Every structure is written in C-alpha cells, then in structure tokens.
C-alpha cells in the first residue's frame, strides 16, 4: 500500500515537473530540429521531399478549383478593362517585334558560330510540362511546387521556363513532386550573358521582384533595355534562354534586371531536360561547387 | 455521467481533433496558389493566427508537441534551401505559452484587447522568424515583405477570428445562456 502511494506521489511529481518544464522542453526540441537541419542537410532534404510528396495530391486538389475561380475572375476583370488590355497588347506586340529582332540576331550569331571549326552542338533539350500546384512564396522564399517528379524525369538543377523566359531551376525532387526556386529567390545565382555585349555576369535574386546583376567586368557597358540570357556555364542550363532586361543602371555595381516571366500568374511551366547532369546538387548556395572537368571542356 | 454512445464518442473526438485539423488545413493552405497579390503573401502567417485563436479557448486541444510537429511541417513545406527548419515550431510554442500565461488579459475581454494581444504576439513571431532566417542564412534579408505580411495578417484578424471562434467546438458548458432554455433540472416539457 505504502509502496503504491509512494509510486503515485513520485509519478505525480514527475508529471508536474514535465508540465512545468514542458515549454522549455518544446523550445529545446525546436532548437534541436534547427540544429539537426543545419548539421544534416541531407536528412532535411529527404524530409522536405517526403512532405512535398505527401502534400502535393492535396494541393493539386485545391489548385484546380482555385485556378478555375481565378480564371473566371481574371476573365471578368479583362472584360471590364478591354480598352486598357488592347493598349497593353499593342505595346506587347511592339515588344515582341523587338524580341523577333533579337531572335534573328541570335540565329545569325548561331549560324556564324556553327561555321567555326570545332563547334559541337550541345545536347538536345526536351521539355516536361508541369502544372504549378503550390506557391512557396513567403517573405523569405520565392518558389513553387510542381506536380511532376522523378518519375517524369525531373532532376535537380534543371531549368524551368515559361513562354516568356526563364522562371527558375528545380531545387528539390520527389517521386511525384518538385520544388522550383524562382530566379528572384535570394538563393538564386545564375551565370548569364548580356546579349548585346556577350559579357558574362552573375544574376542574383534578392526576394524582390527585380534581379541584381553582379560580378561584371565593366559595368559601363551595360545599358537600359539590354537583354540578359543564360550563358550555359555550369552545364545544367541550355544557352540563351531569355531571363530579363536591364531596367536600371546605377552607379557602382547596382544593375537591376526585370525578369520576363510573370511570377504572379504562372499556371503551367516547362522543365527543360537538357541531358546533362548539372553541378547543382542539393541546391544549397552555401558551398560554391567546383565545376566538374567534363563540363568545362564543352 | 452520461452514456457513451457512438455519436457522443464521435462528437468528442471531432471536438478534440478540430483545432489540430484547422491548423493542418491552414498549414497546407499556405502553399495553395491563390494568386491574390497581398493575401497570398500573408498566408504563411495564418497558421500563427490559428494557434493564437485556439490557444485562447482550448489550449488543451492544441498540445505543445502537436504545435512542434505542425511548425516543422510548415517549415519543411515552405522553406527554401538553407532556411531553418523548426523556427515556426518555436514561434507556435511560444505563442501558445504566451497566451496560456496571459489568459486573464486575453480571454473574456473586449475584442480590441484580443486584437492588440494578437498584434503584439504576431510581431514577436515575425521578428523571430526574420531574425532566425537572417542569422541562419547569414544574409541581410529585406524586411519589407515581412512587414507587409505582418500588416496584412493584422488586418485579417478581425475577419478571421470571429469565424474561427464559430468553428471552434463548443463545450456543452460553453453554450450561451439564452440557448440553454429555461427548463430547470427535473422539469419536463408540458
């Protein structure tokens, strides 16, 4: 009897102790999760992919009616602003004509390059069309979830394009889902070319709608309206996918670029399977990976 | 002691599961492509609103470990590469603790008090996440989107809170007096 009472007293003491320190324990657990995430990024990656795979069917179920509703609202809005829409389209037409010129120029240049000896065409690119089933847009991330994954041939590091231009790259891949990191994300760094001058640069996102052009050899050569395209350095991206145009050239090295892709109304995107395993492995920006020798030669 | 019928059991289960289910729903909704320019930016803060609102009324149905799991799930789903996993969990747990320890200032007081309480706690939550994300990735993150998020979720609170208060399961003891009827114990109708 006495033993049982003692046991009960001890048990209740333990219970009150746990209750008293439960907040502390939970806080410690949260910190523990953060530390584990920092120390073992592979584990976290697996957990992320698992969570994505579990959530993506639910999200897809949500995404369809939401997309339909959004389309209806957009239709109504367009109806209300037909005149402005017309003006916008005319303006866009002008812009597209400029694009056409650019395309011709690129084509010519390509022609010339093929004429050179030793030029070898890059691998053929194929496309995987995907629906965007989830936004991962917050104050800290710019990205989206796709409904295709490893089963469809998606791999980490592949380019994601829209009709207008480059949207981002694949950061994480699950069996039936993948996460895109938009070019505007703070972790996005892209090797690019300035189309007019063929100068190399790095295009970095900073979570704002515009991109920052850095590591230029000479900033002076950049003008407003210059188009920025992918350079293909690093191997995972095809050469010459348009990304954006320069909208602001300040003093120092602050060159701002407006991306062509309209991230607020993306519904379908294409994943470019370029046939080259990129050097972008886990998608972390912390360690600048050395380019593998095989890619450099190309 | 009332009889434990199947319906009563289901009812009790449902009531116990409701806050967690609502939280899970809002965690998943965070990722839904809503395309509403300001609203979709503020979605990541809505789970915090749910945690606050349910901690006011039924904190025992939103136990700390569940908040931990939900917060980690939110971070896994939302976070880009390099973002800390578990910072939302930390924020949720702290919100719950803050609400539970300050119940007398937050429960049964005019709505404005609850709102200002939420303003304070949400500010703490946003600052915490911003700080940790900035430290973790060691970059100066532009605080403006976070401030924007905060403003939107503050503005949303008066709209969502009454709704959640309705969704919130009512205990029989919580039934307002007017809907209890006037029958006294032992009295039968007509």
Q: For residue range A61-86, what is the model confidence (pLDDT) as tens digits?
A: 877 777 788 788 878 877 888 888 88
Q: Structure tokens of A134?
A: 């989830």
Q: Give yes or no for residue B173 having a pLDDT over 60.
A: no
Q: Radius of gyration (Cα) for chain B, nearest Å? A: 19
Give the pair of three-digit tokens for residue A185: 């994300």
Locate A224 and state its tokens: 């407003």
Task: Kindly list the residues from chain B whose CB atom is less than 8 angstroms away from the CB atom of residue A282.
Answer: 81
Which of B41, B72, B142 has its CB closest to that of A206? B142
Q: How far is CA A240 from CA A106, A159, A229, A232, A294, in A?
A: 9, 12, 5, 7, 21
At B167 the pLDDT is 62
Structure token pair of residue B26 = 């809002």
The H or E element containing residue A244 is strand A242-249
How far is the alpha carbon of A142 from chain B, nearest alpha carbon, in Å?
8
* Minimal C-alpha gap between A73 and chain B (Å): 11
Residue B175 scores a pLDDT above 60:
no
Strand ranges (E), chain B: none
Query: Is A150 a residue whose pLDDT tops 90?
Result: no
For residue A27, the SS3 value is helix
**CA dihedral for A145, A150, A153, A156, sign (positive or negative):** positive
Nearest-CA distance B182 → chain A (Å): 41
Cα dist from B154 to A4, A281, B53, B71, B120, whole Å: 53, 39, 13, 20, 10
Average pLDDT over residues A1-15: 76
Structural domains in chain A plus CATH codes: 126-297 (2.40.10.340)
CA distance B72 to chain A (A): 8
Structure tokens that stand for B101 in this block: 């320890």
Q: Which two tokens stand for residue A27?
A: 């806080």
Percent of chain A's residues with pLDDT above 70: 80
Are A281 and A289 in contact by the 8 Å Cβ rule? The answer is yes
The answer on pLDDT for A202 being more than 80 is yes
* Helix ranges, chain A (H): 2-39, 41-80, 82-115, 293-297
Please list every residue in chain A whose beta carbon sits closer than 8 Å to the beta carbon of residue B146.
139-140
Q: Are B94 and A27 inside 8 Å of each other by CB? A: yes
Please compute the mean of the pLDDT values over residues B10-37 and round it to a whole number. 80
Is residue A271 within 8 Å of A166, Cβ to Cβ?
A: no
Size of interface A-B (CB pairs under 8 A): 151
Residue to test with chain A: of B27, B28, B31, most A Cβ within 10 A = B31
B66–A contact, CB cutoff 8 A: no
Q: What is the mean pLDDT of residues A146-151?
A: 87
By CA distance, what is B140's nearest residue in A?
A206
Note the pLDDT tens digit of each residue in B41-50.
677 788 888 8
From chain B, pick out residues whose CB is under 8 angstroms from the CB of A138: 30, 41, 43-44, 78, 145, 149
Distance of CA B27 to CAs A207, B23, B71, B72, Å? 22, 6, 8, 10
What number is the average pLDDT over the span B164-183? 51
Residues 6+ apart with CB under 8 A from A241: A159, A161, A165, A166, A229, A230, A272
Query: Which member of B32, B129, B146 has the closest CB to residue A66?
Result: B32
pLDDT at A67: 76
> Distance between CA atoms of A24 and A30, rounded to whole angstroms?
10
pLDDT (0 to 100) of residue A120: 61
Q: Is the pLDDT of residue A284 over 70?
A: no
Query: Average pLDDT, stretch A184-196?
Result: 84
Looking at mean pLDDT, say which of A85-94, A142-151, A285-294 comes out highest. A85-94
Spatial contact of A144 and A131, defined as CB atoms under 8 Å apart: no
Residue A286 confidence (pLDDT) above 50:
no
Q: Has residue A215 got a pLDDT over 90?
A: no
Looking at residue A292, what is its pLDDT? 39
A25-39, A116-130, B36-50, B155-169: segment of lowest average pLDDT: A116-130
Q: Which comes out higher in pLDDT, residue A248 or B124?
A: B124
Domain ranges of chain B: 12-168
Would you say residue B84 has pLDDT above 90? no
* For chain A, the helix, strand and coil percentages under 3-state DSSP, each to the nearest 5: 40, 25, 35
**Res. A279: pLDDT tops 60:** no
Asked if A284 and B82 come within 8 Å (Cβ–Cβ), the reply is yes
pLDDT in tens, B92-101: 999 988 888 8
Q: pLDDT tens across A220-242, in order?
A: 677 888 888 888 777 667 788 88
* Contact across the interface for A206 and B84, Cβ inside 8 Å: no
B146 pLDDT higher than 50: yes
Cβ–Cβ of A140/B32 closer than 8 Å?
Answer: no
Q: How far apart are CA A209 and CA A194, in angstroms?
A: 20
Q: Do B31 and A48 touch (CB under 8 A)?
A: no
Percent of chain A clearing pLDDT 90 (strictly above):
4
Cβ neighbours of B139 in A, within 8 Å:
186
Burial B64-84 (b: 16+ CB within 10 A, else e): bebbbebbbbbbbbbbbbbbb
Tokens of A114: 């093929």
Interface test with A, best of B27, B33, B64, B83 (most A CBs within 10 A): B33
Interface contact B141, partner A, CB < 8 A: yes
Kindly report the average pLDDT of chain A as a whole number.
78
Q: Which of A258, A197, A52, A262 is nearest to B80 (CA)?
A: A52
Instruction: Give A143 to chain B, closest Cα distance, Å.
Output: 8
A66 vs B34: CB contact, 8 Å cut-off?
Answer: yes
Smallest CA–CA distance from A282 into chain B, residue: B81
- Distance CA(A158)–CA(A276), nearest Å, equals 9
């Amino acid at each position: 009897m006495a033993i049982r009472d003692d046991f009960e007293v001890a048990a209740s003491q333990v219970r009150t102790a746990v209750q008293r320190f439960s907040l502390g324990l939970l806080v410690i657990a949260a910190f523990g999760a953060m530390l584990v995430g920092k120390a073992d990024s592979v584990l976290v990656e697996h957990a992320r992919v698992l969570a994505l795979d579990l959530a993506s069917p639910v999200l897809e179920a949500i995404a369809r009616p939401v997309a339909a509703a959004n389309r209806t609202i957009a239709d109504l809005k367009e109806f209300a602003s037909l005149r402005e829409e017309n003006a916008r389209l005319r303006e866009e037409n002008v812009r597209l004509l400029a694009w056409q010129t650019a395309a011709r120029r690129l084509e010519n240049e390509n022609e010339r390059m093929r004429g050179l000896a030793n030029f070898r065409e890059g691998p053929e690119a194929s496309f995987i069309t995907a629906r965007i089933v989830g936004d991962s847009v917050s104050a800290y991330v710019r990205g989206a979830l796709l409904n295709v994954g490893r089963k469809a041939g998606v791999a980490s590091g592949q380019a994601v394009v829209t009709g207008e231009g480059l949207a981002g790259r694949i950061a994480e891949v699950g069996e039936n889902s993948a996460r895109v990191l938009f070019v505007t994300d703070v972790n996005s760094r892209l090797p690019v070319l300035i189309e007019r001058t063929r100068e190399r640069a790095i295009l970095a996102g900073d979570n704002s709608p515009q991109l920052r052009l850095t590591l230029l050899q000479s900033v002076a050569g950049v003008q407003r309206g210059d188009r920025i395209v992918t350079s293909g350095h690093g191997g995972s991206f095809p050469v010459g996918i348009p990304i954006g145009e320069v909208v602001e050239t300040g003093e120092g090295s602050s060159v701002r670029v407006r991306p062509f892709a309209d991230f607020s109304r993306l519904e379908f995107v294409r994943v470019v399977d370029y046939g080259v395993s990129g050097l972008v492995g886990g998608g972390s920006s912390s360690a600048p990976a050395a380019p593998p020798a095989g890619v450099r030669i190309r | 002691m009332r009889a434990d019928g199947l319906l009563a059991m289901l009812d009790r289960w449902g009531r116990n599961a409701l806050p967690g289910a609502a939280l899970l729903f809002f965690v998943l909704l965070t990722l839904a492509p809503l395309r509403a320019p300001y609203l979709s930016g503020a979605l990541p803060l809505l789970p915090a609103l749910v945690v606050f609102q349910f901690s006011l009324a039924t904190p025992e149905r939103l136990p700390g470990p569940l908040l931990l799991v939900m917060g980690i799930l939110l971070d896994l789903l939302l976070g880009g590469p390099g973002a800390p996993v578990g910072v939302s969990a930390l924020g949720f747990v702290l919100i719950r603790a803050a609400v539970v320890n300050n119940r007398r200032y937050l429960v049964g007081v005019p709505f404005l008090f609850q709102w200002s309480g939420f303003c304070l706690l949400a500010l703490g939550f946003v600052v915490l996440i911003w700080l940790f994300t900035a430290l973790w990735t060691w970059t100066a993150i532009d605080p403006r989107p976070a401030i924007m998020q905060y403003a939107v979720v503050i503005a949303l609170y008066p709209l969502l809170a009454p709704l959640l208060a309705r969704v919130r399961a009512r205990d029989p003891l919580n039934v307002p007096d007017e809907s209890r009827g006037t029958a006294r114990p032992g009295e039968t109708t007509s």
